[in-house]
Amino acid sequence: MKRLVDILPALIFAGGLALYAPRVAVPSSYIFDEVYHAYTAGQYAAGNADAYVWYTKSPQKGVAYMWNHPPLGIHLISIGIRIWGDHSFGWRFMSVIFGALGLVVAYSLGLALTGQVAIAALGVLLLAMDGLYFVQARTGMLDVFGVVFMMLALLQFHRYWIAAPERAGRRLLAVGLFLGLAIATKWNAAYASGLIGMIAVARAFWIGGRAGDATTVARHLAWVLVGLVIVPAAMYLLAYVPFFMVGHDFTDFVELQRQIYSYHSHLTATHAYQSRWWQWPLVQRPVWYHVTRYETGSANIYALANPILHWVLLPATVWAMVWWWRRRDPAWLTAGLGFFGQWLPWALVSRISFAYHFLPVVPFGCIALALGLNRMAEGPRAVQWLPWVYVGVVIVAFVFFYPIYACVPLTPEQFTWRMWMPSWR
């Protein structure tokens, strides 16, 4: 048994590759925001300096340079293009790798929060059966990279939070490393990063108050400054090294940051598949990424959450946080940051948003749900069977929706069966 536990992360990674790699090159054309992200990654690989800045336009119709997010995710996509070529398998390759890696990180996070291999493994299974995570792990977009980096950041935060005060500060270096990588992928990561910073500052004063020593406060605040400001800033700047290498200077860099901020703060565009933050856990509005039409039907890709899973993530997380709180288990804070700290800030965002913005929240909800199912399985005999049935239904739902996750051809009738709500069309 110990041998199995030791190799479980490798098995999870291999299982993730086996789940996400088949048919990943279908369709062979760009889908949804790949016209920006994957196209720009190809231009990075080709050494096109114009692809980095806001004042140039692509000479090719139907695509555009992506400059309105930091470049790290684009560079990661470009690795696959450099290895395999500028085609659909190449520009989706790194998403598959990070999708599988994300399952391993979710396992480590679940193990850290619960201390039980079975619960951590169940959380991974639930995450693997989520259609939203599945689709993003097979699409040449930025989101899966940011999700993995934020899981790693919050895993390190949890280790910081439970560490003895005299050893806690240095753990912020690892927190800041992954926060920097997440922010260098998408600025969305700044929401949870700010909350982590406030908590770390509060802990510095709490530690100093208990010690009755201003020097202790200053020492911990110094770790906060280095770990949560300097290290993330360094990671962010390192992501722009290729930007400088193709000929752009620091003035261009500063102006680009201003342009990114201006773009997102003044964005008024709308989209047929946009949705609001409160709709995401209800699975009210998925995003239609692609359709290939045939005489006998069509093949589609929907960024659609597994509804059987997502409909219970919010209550499961609330229950788990209360359960941890009553036992004075610090896991409640990490889970709360991961779920609510990455979701509720979107209530303050007026610009267009989509269901996939809920993706960073999903791993934390799956871990919380796995904890609840485990407790139920160990509860009264009358309900011990329910978790097994529920997990089975989640798996069946994933298999049922798989064709519209993986661009498998369906007849019009078969497609209609999978449109459970009018708002999904």
Q: In this predicted model, what pLDDT tens digit does every residue of 205-234 receive, in sequence order? A: 988 777 677 888 899 999 999 999 999 999
Task: Band the pLDDT of 53: cuts 50, 70, 90.
Answer: very high
Q: Which two structure tokens, joined as six digits, stand for 284?
A: 């009210």
Q: What is the pTM assigned to this prediction? A: 0.96
Q: Which two structure tokens, joined as six digits, stand for 99?
A: 């999708």
Task: Band the pLDDT of 424: cuts 50, 70, 90.
Answer: very high
Instruction: Report how many helices (DSSP H) and strands (DSSP E) the chain contains, helices first.
Output: 20, 2
Q: How far apart are CA 125 and CA 306, in angstroms?
A: 13
Mean pLDDT is lowest, of 218-222, 308-312, 358-362, 364-368, for: 218-222
Q: What percentage of the chain reaches a pLDDT higher than 70?
A: 99
Q: Taking the domains of the chain in order of start, what are their residue ranges?
A: 2-424
Q: In this model, does residue 137 exceed pLDDT 90?
A: yes
Q: Which is nearest to 136 in space by CA: 179, 170, 98?
A: 98
Q: In this model, does residue 166 exceed pLDDT 90?
A: no
- Write out pLDDT tens, residues 232-254: 999 999 999 999 999 999 999 99
Q: How far apart are CA 143 and CA 356, in angstroms?
A: 8
Which amino acid does the sequence have at 236? Y
Backbone angles phi, psi at 230, to 5 degrees: -70, -45
Kindly give the interhelix angle for 362-377 and 331-343, rounded to the nearest 10 degrees: 140
